[in-house]
Structures are given as C-alpha cells and as structure tokens.
Structure 1
Amino acid sequence: MRAEPDDSPARQALERGVVTVDVVSDVVCPWCFLGKRRLEAAIAQSGEPVDIRWRPFQLDPTIPPAGLDRGAYVSAKFGSLAALDAAHEKLSASGAEEGIAFAFDRIARAPNTIDAHRLIRWALSADLQDAVVEALFQAYFVEGRDIGDRKMLVGLAEAAGMDATLVHRLLASGADEADVRDEIATAVRLGVSGVPFFIFAGRYAVPGAQTAEVLAAAIAKARSEGPMREGA
C-alpha cells in the first residue's frame, strides 16, 4: 500500500536513512497499546533511526462528546460486560507479556476520543507525541481515567511537558477538529478499517498488533529498498 507521493516527508526521511512509521490508532483500542509496545521492541531490534507519527482513528465516532457510561455502552453493543470477559482475559495475558497491566474493570466511561486525537496532533510540534500517546493509554487502560474529559487531557498534556494554558485554550476553541476528522476520513479511504495500522516509509502497510519480529522486518524492508523514485 502506497500512502504518500514521491516527494513526501516519508521519502525525504528515507533519503536521510530514517524510516517513518505512521501508526493509525485509537487511544481506546487495547490492541493499539499492545501494538505500541511491539513497535518499540521492533525499533530496539532494528537499532536504526525511526520516526514515529501517530495518526488518528475512531473506533466509534458516534459516542457523544461527553462520553457514555461504559457498562451501559458495552451492554448495548455486546449484550453484557460479561460478553467481553474472554477477550479481556486474552488481552490481559498479552498485555502482561508486554509489560502492560490492563485494568478493564477500572474503566467507567466510554469516551469520544476526538479531543484526545487533537492533543496528540499538537504534541507532534513539541516532539512529545510518544509521551502523550503513552500517557493516554496508561490513563485509560491502567488507571481507568476518563480521557474524554478536557480537564483530564490538560493535566496529562502538562505532565508530558506541554503548555497547559495553551492546550486548554485550543481545546475550548475547537482548533484542528476538522483536520483530525479529515485525517480519519483519509485513513478510511486508504483502506484502514481496523487499528492499529502501520505504514512504513509511506509505502508498506502492516495491519494489526503484529509481533515485534514482523514489525522489525517491515522496518528493514523499507530501509533496504530505499526511497521510491518518480514513476516507480
């Protein structure tokens, strides 16, 4: 899957020996948290420069801005909370292998994640995307906090090193909401229907929370083949 033009930042980075990895994800997706850990392991295996860019996706954009009671939401969608017990047990086991202490029983709200994605977008310019994404995953899946709450988001942003006053103002203004929605729509047009979804060097797509070995191989492939030339 080719996602960017020949003069894209991904190609320019590859010409400098850096592989870009675009990670399309949602911060309420447990498999995306696992995918983050496995990508980190893959990068450690490769030992080469990699530039990660976190891209937005919403598993359920119909959730209202204020969020929903998670018990009621899950029951309406799956029949009951118990219907997810087997999946949560599997995820907890996989998480333990990656150093993630999933605590699904602590999650009380099903949030709309559009504001969280706006925060991630702003974190890029401050070179704090990874820290903010990690904080959001930890807050939701380990601590059970409501990451749809703007006060919560401001606190997480400040703890990660961002300007809390600026983040508060941007959230209230609606800044970049349309751009985030457009980016999600672009991902869907490119064929993304589930997350995580990894795009290496703007060229190779790897869907799902694959093993570190699979992701490391994709990094190596993107690097070894070099920048895609005009007309290739």
Structure 2
Amino acid sequence: MALKLIIVSDFVCPYCYWLETLLDRLGEQLEIIHVPYQLTEPPAPRIDVWNDPVRRVRYAETLGPVCQAQGVEMCLPPRVIPRPYTDLAFQGWCFAGERDRGESFYKAVFQAYFVDERDIGDLSVLTELAENCGLSGQDFRAALVAGTYTETVRRQSRLSRDLLGIHMVPTILSGKKRLEGFVPNLIELKAWLDAVR
C-alpha cells in the first residue's frame, strides 16, 4: 500500500521545488496530497528576491551544491522581479486537477519559475502552461478571470496555516509526523519516510 503524504508548499519556494525533484527520483509509490501555502498573499507587498543578497547567499550555500551534484537545473533565485503572488497559479492547479492534469500542471509551474524564469503570477504565462498540459486555454483563462477557484485556494491556504499549523515550507505530513524545511538529499528523505511507515 502506498504511503500517504500531505505536502505543503509554494511555487516560489526553491526548497519546495528541490523536494519535488527528490520525490521524482525516489522511485516509490506514494499517495501525495498537495496543499498550497502562499509565502506572500495579496495585498501584502511582493518582495524582490533577485536583489536580496542574504537569500542569494543562503540559496548558493544550501541548494547550489546539491543541485549541481544531482544535475538539477535551478535559477537561484529566478530573475523575476518582484517575486510573483502564487494565488493564480494555485487556482490554475485546481482547474487542472479537476481535469486530471493537476500533477503535470504542478510540475510545469515549478519548471516555468525556477528553470525558465517566467512570471507565474501572469495569467498569460499560466494559460500557456495549461495549454502545454493539454488543457483548453480559453476555458482555463475564463475560469481564472471569473475567480472560480479563488475561494478554494483561500480555504486551502487557511487549512495549511490554521488547521495544520504550517509556518514554513516545504512541510511533509504523514499522520502526526512532520518534516519541515530543507531536505538535502534522498538518503534523509528515505530515512524519514521509513521512520513514519
């Protein structure tokens, strides 16, 4: 039976993208439920991570070596100024999920931001990603413009913060056990997964 995990993350968190690459390499059957956590929610001001020397150094020291060792391409940080809100991206993910394209859209959003340095807060970019995942761009755009999934994403964000008590991403939950923050390699991830089985 596949181990069930709840993974709380944000599309603009490099440690979340790194975790996704580890999970892809794990080679195990896992039942994953993704829950959004927006690092910056409207109307809070968006931040400029590109010109932030503290983040640049931290990413270079923590993620730089592991990405290089594993051959993972990632712009640290991406040159998208300011860092986008992710509410629209999560709404797009909800749309895609209802049409059995949630996982491919999820991965495409991370790739667009961390590899291609695209603004994933831009509806045109998200619509293109949806079309690349085999979805109707017209239906996708119409649903996001209409705010069809706005309340769903708000509710899921409240779930992560209030009910699950999440204060950092990524966070992996399995039952009452949780693993928070940067997971540097497959060995540590496997050890944690073995401990919660």
TM-score by length of 2: 0.85
Q: CA deviation at 1:86?
A: 1.1
Q: Which residue of 1 aligns with 2:126?
A: 153
Q: Distance in 2 between matches of 1:222 and 1:60?
A: 31
Query: Match for 2:86: what amino acid?
Result: T
- 5+ unaligned residues in a row in structure 1: which ranges? 1-16, 224-232
Q: Which has the higher contact order (CA 8 A, sep 6+)?
A: 1
Q: Confirm or deny: 8 A CA contact 2:8 2:171 kept in the other structure.
A: yes
Deviations 1:113-154 (A, max 9, x none): 001011122222333222212211111111111100001101
Secondary structure of 2:131's aligned partner: helix
In 2, the alpha carbon distance for the partners of 1:179 and 1:192 equals 18
Corresponding residue number in structure 2 for 1:82: 53
State which structure, 1 or 2, has the greater radius of gyration over its C-alpha atoms: 1
Percent of residue pairs bearing the same amino acid type: 26
Q: Which amino acid in 2 is paired with 1:41?
A: R
Q: What residue in structure 1 maps to residue 36 of structure 2?
A: 56
Kindly state the Cα deviation for residue 105 of structure 1 after the two structures are TM-superposed.
5.4
Alignment of 1:167-186 (within 5 A): 167-186=140-159
Displacement after TM superposition at 1:217 (Å): 3.6
SS at match of 1:157: helix
CA distances 1:6-54 after superposition (whole Å, capped 9, x unpaired): xxxxxxxxxxx22222211000000001111122233x1xx4x322222
Shift of 1:176: 1.7
8 A contact 1:37–1:98 mirrored in 2: no
- Give the unaligned 5+ runs of structure 2: none
Could you tell me whether the CA contact under 8 Å between 1:38 and 1:98 is conserved in 2? no
| Aligned residues of 1:204 and 1:218 also touching (Cα < 8 A) | no
Partner of 1:96: 68
Kept in 1: contact 2:78–2:113 (CA 8 A): no
Do the aligned partners of 1:38 and 1:209 also contact (CA within 8 Å) in 2? no
Matched residues in 1 for 2:2 and 2:148: separation? 31
Q: One-letter code of the match for 1:56? A: P
Aligned pair count?
A: 193
Q: Calculate the aligned-residue CA RMSD, in Å.
A: 2.4
The alignment's TM-score, normalised by the length of structure 1, stands at: 0.73
